[in-house]
Amino acid sequence: MAQLQKQAQEKTDALAARLGSLDLAAGGFAPAARKAALARLESMGLPGRRDEYWRYTDPAVFNAETASESAPLIVEKPIFTDKDKVRLVFVDGVFDAAASDKPELAGVEITLLSQAGAQDIHWASALYGTLEAAGQKPVPRPFAALNTAAATEGLLIRVTGTAPKPIHISYRQNSTTSDPILHHCIKVESGAELTLLETGITGARSNIVMEAQVEAGGKLHHIRPQGRSHGKQLLTHIFARLAENTLFKSFTLSMNGRLTRNEAVIEFTGDDAVAHVAGACVGDGAFHHDDTVFVTHDAERCESRQVFKKVLKNGAVGVFQGKILVKAGAQKTDGYQISQSLLLDDDSQFLAKPELEIYADDVICSHGSTSGAIDETALFYLQSRGVEKRVAQTLLVLAFLAEAIAEIEDETLAEEIRERMEDWLHRHERA
């Protein structure tokens, strides 16, 4: 008992210190939602290593009062440059109007969080913090509540038709100590469709939340190549609520990064909806990458797919925590989950916790998790045909990642992602 009290006290103290470094008084859009989020946060406290949900990933750098220094990789080429899109640029979490396209797109309303307070846009006040609050059960996600309470910027995007081109949120980092808290709200109205690209380095340490509500028949495609930097401390949450007949597809590419945790919380509230969350990550050395996914089926005949692939070398660590919860009555659910790691040496490790919790009797759910090395037989076969060992290895690694990349519907975007991975693999072939 004393132990538990001590733990609770530690959490409260850590939270007080963390909140001390934030400018909550600045307020902003949706003051009531922010206040409620702060109350949620205060009741749960910040996570510690003893929390089951943080068993494999140490939350210390996110708990710290300030960000650890991290320099951006200046050399990274911009991605998706050939695609016609509306590009919105954030530098260290601050919107850069001069570098951005006009936030205008047929069938889409785009507003900045920092400017929404002055306007009367009701749709976003109903969404802001709502899915995050719902996503706190059954597992608390304190940093998401912190985000709702303290976000300084973000995009409020409402889609009413088929967006003629993608919206591209392009992040950039200039400061080595930036610590942005961004909160995006996306609402895809009935029958509407949007492709959302999210690219680049958000900051030295970042806390990014996206709440996405997709109404009946709506479609949301989300492709997120997270920028390369070695020191970044990145925490993201996606909260998606899906009505009937919707489609939600989210793919994340991660290369490098001292600590990344990408959480996705998906909830099916309408029948016949489809959600695919996928991730491919490659890490070399000081790299810790955590994918934490929670899918709740609370409707009939929905299909969820989780496909996560990690390539790890030189002591890199990969984590996967994935859960499919099928509530009573969610009949004909089709849930699939695969998490796999390819360990290129003995120093790297993969920690996986796949979970199924099913309360309906007529469902198909499967999960699998594997961890393995390069297939030596296949490697020799390629070499025996004249392919150099390192090239053969890269080919096999790309083959391993293919199932995750296949989750991107747009062929040209998928190809660019594939090329990024290939470039990275070539650069890291020697060591």
Please, what is the minimum distance in Å from the beta carbon of residue 63 to other proteins?
40
Of 82 and 376, which has the nearer Cβ to other proteins? Answer: 376
Beta-strand relationship, 94-95 and 86-91: antiparallel
Count CB neighbours of 221 within 10 A: 20
Query: Does 64 engage in binding with other proteins (CB under 8 A)?
Result: no
| 351 in contact with other proteins (CB under 8 A) | no
Q: Which residue has the tokens 């009946």?
A: 216
Give the whole-angstrom CA distance, residue 155 versus residue 404.
27
The one among 400, 417, 420, 428 contacting other proteins by CB under 8 A: 400
- Shortest gap between Cβ of 404 and other proteins (angstroms)? 11
Query: Residue 135 Cβ, how far from other proteins at the closest point, in Å?
Result: 34
CA–CA separation, 407 vs 223, rounded Å? 10
Interface residue with other proteins among 65, 380, 412, 423 (CB under 8 A) is 380
Size of the site for other proteins (CB under 8 A): 23
| Residue selected from 109, 382, 410, 414 as contacting other proteins according to rule CB under 8 A | 382
Give residues with Cβ within 8 angstroms of 147, minimum separation 6. Answer: 37, 132, 181, 182, 183, 207, 208, 209, 237
Contacts of 241 (CB under 8 A, 6+ apart): 131, 134, 212, 213, 214, 267, 269
Residue pair 271/299 in contact by the 8 Å Cβ criterion: yes
Q: Which is nearer to other proteins, 73 or 391 (CB)?
A: 391
Q: Is 360 in the site for other proteins (CB under 8 A)?
A: no
Binding status of residue 377 toward other proteins by CB under 8 A: yes
60 or 387, CB closer to other proteins?
387
Q: How far is the CB of 305 from other proteins (least distance, A)?
A: 18
Give the DSSP H or E segment for 247.
strand 247-255
Applying CB under 8 A, among 120, 346, 361, 376 the residue interacting with other proteins is 376
> Read out DSSP for 181-203?
EEEEEEEE-TT-EEEEEEEE---
Binding of other proteins by 427 (CB under 8 A): no
CB 301 within 8 A of CB 274: no
CB of 159 to other proteins, least distance (A): 35
Side chain identity at residue 18, one-letter code: R
- 71 touches other proteins by CB under 8 A: no
Asked whether position 414 contacts other proteins by CB under 8 A, the answer is no
Six-digit token string for 186: 């996306």
Stretch in the footprint of other proteins (CB under 8 A) among 84-92, 175-183, 346-354, 381-389: 381-389
Interacting residues toward other proteins by CB under 8 A: 375-378, 380-389, 391-392, 395-396, 398-400, 402-403
